[in-house]
Homo-oligomer: A and B are copies of this chain.
Amino acid sequence: MSAEERIKKEIIQNFGHAYRAFGLNKLMGHVVALLIFSPEPLSLDEISQNLERSKGPVSQIMKRLRDRNLIRRVWHPTSRKDFYEIQPEIFENAFRNNFELIKSNTRLAKQLKATVNKEKSDNFDTLKLRLLEMQKFYELTEKHFDNFLSEWSVEREKIYSKSK
């Protein structure tokens, strides 16, 4: 096996683990790594072949990746096949996906707090305070996420303008 192939395999494996750690499907990570690695868009067949999976699950994974804005479809004028490539803003988009989870936690905390506050019972004192803390925590998180994203767009621009 060539050095290239070794590195490629390693990256693919690593991405699989990383995706897994974040609660996503390992195969999603593999596909993302493969596409990051590839200078050209790849077809469904090429991807299945490369990762040694059948078309079925790969097709499903491609849908999930598209839903998350991590990849996108492109078309060759000469071919009837779909081709896929990485979304240029993949890291930012992955981050946004997690951001959505954070936001849903904020909403959850607020909603729970509202429900609990309606109750007369004193038993909820500990909980009320905790839910307030939770809400504040996630609100602060959201603020910093926003800051991060605007700073990142500047940073990213720098990387790619240099490389031209």
Contacts and interface: CB of A to CB of B under 8 A. Distances in A.
B23 A91 contact: no
Contact of A91 (B4, B137, B148): B137
A144 interface: yes
Interface string A90-134: 011001000001001100100010011001010111110110111
Given A144-B147, A148-B144, A152-B137, A24 B22 contact: no
Interface of A: 3-4, 7, 10-11, 14, 18, 20-24, 36-39, 86, 91-92, 95, 101, 104-105, 108, 112, 115-116, 119, 121, 123-127, 129-130, 132-134, 136-137, 140-141, 144, 147-148, 151-152, 155-156, 159-160, 163
16 contacts: A3-B121, A4-B119, A7-B115, A18-B101, A18-B105, A20-B23, A21-B23, A22-B23, A22-B101, A38-B126, A91-B134, A92-B137, A137-B152, A140-B151, A140-B152, A144-B147
